[in-house]
Structures are given as C-alpha cells and as structure tokens.
Chains A and B, each alone.
Chain A
Amino acid sequence: MTAWLGPAEWQAVALSLRVSLTATALSLPLGIWIAWLLARRRFPGKQVLNGLVHLPLILPPVVTGYLLLLTFGTQGPVGGPLRDWFGVTLAFRWTGAALAAAIMAFPLMVRAIRLSFEAVDPRLEEAAATLGASRLRVFATVTLPLIAPGIVAGAVLAFAKAMGEFGATITFVANIPGRTQTLPSAIYGFLQVPGGEGPALRLVLVSVAVAMTALLVSEVLAARASRRVAGS
C-alpha cells in the first residue's frame, strides 16, 4: 500500500486513523456516561445538556471549529492554562484534530448508546438489586452487557464520522501535511493543485474502503453481541 500511495498520502491516511481511533476511544467512556444521564436520570438542566451534546450536529462545522479555536487556542480561556500549566497545546496539532473529531462525532455516539440504554428493561436491574448487587455491580453485570450492541454501533458511527470530519478540523488545526493533514484535508488539498486528481482519487478509494470495513466490522460485532444477549 505504501508503494501505491505516495508518502504524503500515506501520512494523511495514518494520521486520520490515529486521530479517529483516539477520538473514539477517549470519548467512549464520557459518551456512555452522558447517554446514561440522558436516558435514565432526571435533573435540572437535562434539556440544556441534551442541546449542548447535539449542537455540533446542527451548527456549521466551521462555526464549531472556530469556537474550538477561540476556546482551546493558545490565547483561549482553556487553551491558555492548558499550555501554561500542563504544556499541552491542541491548536494546530494532531491532538486538536482528535478533539475536533471527537466533538463532531459525539452526538452520533451518544444517540446510539442512549437508545440502547432506553431499550434495557429497568426491571432486570431491579431484580439484580434484590439479589444483593450494588449499583456498580448491576451496571457492570446487567446493564453494560445488555447495551453492548449499542456501544459497538455508537463507537463505529463515531469512528466513521471522525474519519470524514473536515470543516471543524481544518478550521481548528489547519491543513499542515504530516501534522494535521487528515484524509479529507489531504483530498481537499490535492484538489487545489494542478495534477492532484490522481492522489485525490486514490485517497477517495481508501476512504470508501475504510468506511466499508468499519461498517462490516460493526455489523459482525453487533450481531455477535446481540446473540450473546438474546442467548439463542
């Protein structure tokens, strides 16, 4: 594949995979928690939280990227302290691309997991409690296994969305080859220069292949998890 793809193209593919996997893995625990809050708890400000989670789905990606730059840029209210106290910079780094991808993919992940929480019969959790199980044990041994198909679906959706994220990423971290140039940014970049159609087309093919593979893997995992839950 390295022979078929040029070094710049290969770099973009590898970076995109790294960004998407990081974004998915790091946002998954938070996604499960938020989905649980939205599905199961009643608290003041629930609609506000729901709105915030879904905001990236509705806002123009450029707006999300710009808001990220304002907040997490080196002069921003979060980005400044992050750099001064922890030496972490997100803007114009691949870690920033991961943050942008995670935020853009978050609504899709939360929606899928939330739906599976709502499908779990709370009476099974009650039964576990009467058998002496603590809340944590009920969650780990009853709730989590039953929502496993939803978690798989949410994670794959988020990964696919992260692989394709373009607007917020290019606004927040720009399009620096080898550093922040993800697969979609690279396609866009190639299309801006004469003679770039060839590399762009190869990257499009890679994009399609990755998306299809993710979909197939998720189908297999979800089917396996469902079988385990239904117990047939």
Chain B
Amino acid sequence: MTLEVRLSQRWPGFALDAAFTAPDGVTALFGRSGSGKTTIVNAVAGLLRPQAGRIVLGGDVLLDTRAGRFVPPSARRIGYVFQDGRLFPHMDVAANLLYGRRPRRRDAAFSDVVDLLGIGALLARRPAALSGGEKSRVALGRALLSNPRLLLMDEPLAALDEARKAEILPYLERIRDTARIPILYVSHSVAEIARLATTLVTIEAGRVTGAGPVAAMLADPGAVRFLGVREAGAVLAGRIVAHHPDGLSEVAVSGGSLHLPRIALGVGHGVRLRIAAQDVILSRAAPVGLSALNILPGIVTAIRRGDGPGAMVQLACGGDLLLARITGRSADAMDLREGQPCHAIMKSVAVHPDDVGG
C-alpha cells in the first residue's frame, strides 16, 4: 500500500509545501524542529485540514481539497502513536488497548500484540502508574490494535531517555517486521532512522528537500548539510556468515566482509550496519600493517567540499555506498577524484538486527 501526500498550508511567517510518496515499509520524515513534520503527519491523520492538498492511501482518497473531499480522522483507519502517548487517564491499560478495537474483545490478535510488546503484566494498571517506556509501549499497542491501514509515529521516542529508547527500539523493529502496513515515522534522530527506516524523506522549512531509499539518502555526500557532520554516515545491509572462536563475528556485505565484535544473532541472520562518515579513513594504496580489521576496497563516486575544512567522499563498495568524512587538505594531498579506486578503513561499526533475509 502506498501513501501519496501533497499539501500546502500557509501561516503568517511559515509556509508548508510538501509532496512525497511513502511506499511499503518505514518511511522516515526527517527534519529539524519546526520544519513542518508534525503538520504533515497531522494532515495525514485528518487532525488538520490543510488549505490545499491531496492525500491518497492505497487508492483511497482521504483528502482532496479541490474536489472538496475530507475524510474525518475517525473514518481513516490510520493508527497514530503520539510523542506523548496520550493514553486515556481514566481507563486502565486493557481499556486503552481495546478502545479502537472492533469487536472490543480480548481475542487472539489482542494477545499477540500484548505479547509482542511485553505489556501483559500492566493490563489492570492506570496510565498514571506506568513508566515512560511502558506508556510508549501501550500507546503503540493501542494504535496497532485499532487495525490500521497505516501507522503514524510522531517521534515516539523523543520523550524517553537513552535507556528507555534502547528498551523500545527492538519493539519498533518487531512491529516493522510483523505488521504488514506502511509506517510513517517522524524523527530528528539519524540513529533511529538508520536503524528503522527503509525510505527517507527530508524536510526543511516546510519543503521536501530529498526522498529515496534510506541507504542511498544517507550515503549522499550532500546529506551532511542537514544530518550534521557527526550524524552523517552510510547504512549497509549485511549477513552474518560465521562466528569465529576469537570472539569476532564475520558479516558479509556486497563489497567484502567485515569482522565485528560478537553479534548475538545466528549465522545467516541479516544485520543493518551503520558506519558514521567520521569513523572512516581513506587510503589510496592497499593498507598494510594497520590494527584496523575492517577494510573495504571501493571506487570514489562523489566528493563534496563543505564550507569548512571538511570534505565528504562517497565510495561504491560492491553494491553498497559508503561515506567518509576527511579534510579537504587530505583530499588534495591524496589527489582524490571520481572514478578512482580507494580503500575505506572503518574504525567502528554499529550493528542492528534487520529484517533483510532475517
């Protein structure tokens, strides 16, 4: 099911003009606070009626201002996980979960979602007696149980500390992999997007500045402009091929293989690797005598110099794209050009389980 969105809305001092298409999988809306992400999601949910626009979900026209069509939120069957949970304070967890369910029974699907989110012990409690992470899980479950055709998540982790985020992320991954519905995920965390998203739409000041598969988008040297120097980095799909006795796991990627500290998943499992641009060193010659284990050969595909001393270099390693941040001075000294063979040396790699072949 595909979601097509085209919106324009004008307020004094701010204009939103956005158009994008969200295919199956997780589409992340990425942008700074105030860029218009929440406005877009609210319009998709029907909580906001934009001045002009058209929203179509799987062929079903939810909004068409020119034709005067506006489907109210209660008839859209779109689940919305709010940043602040918005659980009903006067109902216990079970009643919250069942609020959008038809029929309102604790059936097999109810048990499945309760198990998936690990909230079986909370059913009789009131929201006031839940921790932040528990509230987030219940809010997720409530949206899932309303049998939605699309799931909207507006920074569902933003209100949580790092430990609680780490607690929720695996549940989000499970939902991505088990709920067969598209998800629109608003975030300003590159780490979350790299871990969860399949498609990335970037928004700046009310406009869509880029859209595409998350791996290609994050490996775009121009991406550093909105991701920030520290956050820029490529995402690679890999597969665990062996666990070695010295405690390292071997992961095959399209351009070679990487050795990483033991990954707690079986051989054959798909993993998603995130390699920050600032953790990549480039070498023209095949490096020898280095302590770094992970070296991938590649071809320089793009170089982009920023305003400062830095430069972003994109490498094609097999079928994957890598991003390296080096200094402009190094780029000059190495005489880097597009089409040149090069070696990428990785100082650190973040690993997340992935649905790819998993």
Contacts and interface: CB of A to CB of B under 8 A. Distances in A.
Nearest to A129: B73
Nearest to A225: B90
A70 B146 CA distance: 56
B92 to A, nearest CB: 8
A81 B142 CA distance: 54
B90 A146 contact: yes
Interface in B250-309: none
Q: Contact size class for A?
A: 20 to 34
A131 B146 contact: yes
Contacts, number: 73
B79 interface: yes
A124 B84 CA distance: 10
B32 interface: no
Interface in A204-232: 228-232
Interface string A25-50: 00000000000000000000000000
Chain A interface helix/strand/loop/mixed: helix
B41 to A, nearest CB: 11
Contact of A130 (B45, B90, B128, B129): B45
B78 interface: yes
Nearest to A142: B88
A123 B126 contact: no
A232 B73 contact: no
A57 B45 CA distance: 43
Contacts of A142: 88
A65 B349 CA distance: 83
Contacts of B82: 123, 127
B183 to A, nearest CB: 15
Interface of A: 121, 123-124, 126-135, 141-142, 145-146, 228-232
The 8 closest A-B pairs by CB, nearest first: A231-B126, A131-B100, A127-B86, A130-B80, A129-B73, A231-B128, A229-B90, A131-B146
Given A129-B74, A131-B79, A131-B143, 20 more contacts: A121-B86, A126-B47, A127-B80, A127-B86, A128-B99, A129-B72, A129-B73, A130-B45, A130-B74, A130-B79, A131-B142, A132-B74, A132-B102, A132-B146, A133-B100, A135-B74, A142-B88, A229-B89, A231-B129, A232-B128
12 contacts: A123-B86, A126-B73, A129-B73, A130-B46, A131-B146, A132-B100, A132-B102, A133-B99, A133-B100, A141-B99, A146-B90, A230-B126
